[in-house]
Homo-oligomer: A and B are copies of this chain.
Amino acid sequence: MSNDRSDFVIVGGVACGPKTASVLARRLPDATITLFQREELASYATCGMPYFASGDIEEFARLTETSYGIPRDPEYFSSTKGFTLVTGAEVIEIDRKNKTVKVRMISSGEVVEHGYGKLVLATGGQPIDPPFPVAESPMIRGFTRPDDAIAFRKAAQTGQIGKAVVVGGGFIGCEVVESAAGLWGIETTLVEKEPQILPFALDPEMAAIAEREMQRQGIEVLTGAKVESIDLDEDKKPVVRIAGHDSITCDFVFVSLGVRPSVDLAHDCGLEIGEHGGIVVDSHMMTSDPDIYAGGDCVESFNRITRSSMYLPMGSLANRHGRVIGENLAGHTAEFKGVVGACFVKVFDLNVGAVGLNEKAAESAGLRSVAVLASFPDKPDYYPEYQTFTLKMRYSPDDQKLLGLQTAGKGDIFRRIDIFSSFLQRQGTLTDLLDFEHGYAPPYSEALDPLYQIASFAIAQSRGLSVVDLNISDAGIILDVRESDEVESEPWPVKSNQKLVNIPLGELRNRCGELDRKKKIIVACKRGPRSYQAGLILKHAGFEDVHVIGGGVQALR
């Protein structure tokens, strides 16, 4: 290996690194570009690992190949992309003064020095260390490396796993639960210390929709459950000990507490590290050293909504960082303007997504926010095989700025999250959703898009219609405005201090007199829209203490 001063050195070969190198090589075909990757594999699809573990993807090789079956190995990157990939090569030190890196060749142990003109750190993330003791065992694993997925798949496929525990109900945790229970039929428990799963993305009632789906699929979901230790019993079987709960003995444990930035190299050479532990970069992805750029899961991101920094490790962002770094290093200008936090996760037959701020995130950012919730079919409900989902939208009551959207349900939630993301990107307001022109054809969409409809509800709310929580436990009358056959087949779950009255929406104008004006009236229906309409009718009839439940019984399924 040469230790000449080369033009560009890139550290890390999963997503941001190879993308940076490819863009650089396209823009500066004569440059010397060297990418060091610690592992033997490079540019594999980490995000696909749960679907290899689950058996949905037959061969691990599919995650390491191009779409036309060529392995993404050094030969591929050299011939097709035009840069040098060195695998099994760990960068162990950066000398910023002399602009060199020390590289340890893992197979030989040899350490060589390599000069750089510009350096790119794409060192990725690593699992958050558990705050409890964990025994050493091949059957207790994180889920960040190919080995983890391969080991699980092998054990599952050979019938070694009857029972599994997944610790951590974030995105990866949820995906891994499905990997275990889905195709392999493993009895699975999900353990999450927060009172809900997916706490960073969803508000509690939206997370509850996903939790119920897991339970329907036979998963035991333990929320608010603090793991104290993961031990091994006499038979070397993992035992998960949980505060205030029976211990769970099982065959396999995934510990999936999230990811933190891998910044040892950056830290040791004195680059600025941010409050979330990631490398600080500007909008050109330049670190505090103008000769060093960084991207991917090792950097902090600028949140476009809160205008503050956050940590958001996502393969999609890492790829986009790569382009920005490559362009800037090639002497052009490109900016990464920040993130809004769009995400999807498959929870068995449900699709879950979020973008922007949930209640907690808005609160901690000090932003005043209100939300509105409703359920919708994903195409007209006269069309066969429509699906339904629930949306929860958060916005500013002061200037009607959009703040966030959460979805859970079946059918096409993706369009709505992504469209909302595009509006968040440009500081959109409720009016933008009313102005939004969606493609309309009955096999695919309703005449008025759910985003339009939920914006209308938000506007009704901003004009004084009180919208309350799906699980409201206040004393009062629950006024169910569905038709009587709907009520019979799926009754509204009233609390003990609530009285249920059923008046179908079409009869409400004439039957208002049956309701006690002194009582709090809480209107409910199937999806939400009828409740909004009923709320307006009651307000016009002079009822004062009227509240509307968004989402309907649909969102309680």
Report how many residues on chain A are interfacial, defined by Cβ distance under 8 Å: 97
Residues A331-350 near B (CB distance < 8 A): 334, 337, 339-346
A107 within 8 Å of B (CB atoms): no
Q: Would you call A444 and B351 a contact (CB within 8 A)?
A: yes
The residue of chain B having its C-beta at the shortest distance from the C-beta of A28 within the complex is B540
Q: Would you call A440 and B48 a contact (CB within 8 A)?
A: no
The residue of chain B having its C-beta at the shortest distance from the C-beta of A30 within the complex is B540
CA distance A241 to B318 in the complex (A): 60
Beyond A29-B540, A315-B447, A422-B432, 20 extra complex contacts between A and B, CB < 8 Å: A15-B447, A47-B440, A48-B382, A63-B382, A67-B377, A70-B483, A76-B506, A79-B506, A79-B507, A80-B505, A82-B509, A314-B440, A319-B447, A341-B437, A342-B440, A344-B445, A346-B441, A418-B438, A422-B436, A425-B435
Neighbouring B residues of A483 by C-beta, 8 Å: 68-70
A100 within 8 Å of B (CB atoms): no
Question: Which A residues are closer than 8 A to B by beta carbons?
Answer: 15, 26, 29, 45, 47-48, 50-51, 56-57, 62-63, 65, 67-70, 75-76, 79-82, 171, 175, 314-320, 323, 334, 337, 339-346, 351, 353, 355, 377, 380-384, 412, 414-415, 417-419, 421-423, 425-426, 432, 434-445, 447-449, 452, 456, 482-483, 486, 505-510, 526-527, 530, 533, 536-537, 540
**Number of identical monomers bound together in the oligomeric complex:** 2
Neighbouring B residues of A29 by C-beta, 8 Å: 536, 540
Q: Would you call A436 and B425 a contact (CB within 8 A)?
A: yes
CB distance from A420 to the nearest CB of B (A): 9
CA distance A509 to B82 in the complex (A): 9
CA distance A265 to B69 in the complex (A): 65
Q: Would you call A418 and B415 a contact (CB within 8 A)?
A: yes
Knowing A70-B506, A452-B320 are in contact, say whether A421-B443 is a contact too (CB < 8 A): no
Interface centre among A65, A345, A449, A505 (most CB of B within 10 A): A505
The residue of chain B having its C-beta at the shortest distance from the C-beta of A56 within the complex is B384
Neighbouring B residues of A82 by C-beta, 8 Å: 509, 537
CA distance A56 to B382 in the complex (A): 10
CB distance from A410 to the nearest CB of B (A): 13
Interface centre among A65, A79, A175, A510 (most CB of B within 10 A): A79
CA distance A15 to B447 in the complex (A): 9
CB distance from A36 to the nearest CB of B (A): 22
Neighbouring B residues of A440 by C-beta, 8 Å: 47, 314-316, 342-344
CA distance A69 to B381 in the complex (A): 11
Q: Which of B47, B81, B412, B509 contacts A414 (CB 8 A)?
A: B412
CB distance from A467 to the nearest CB of B (A): 16
Q: Which of B62, B418, B526, B527 contacts A439 (CB 8 A)?
A: B418
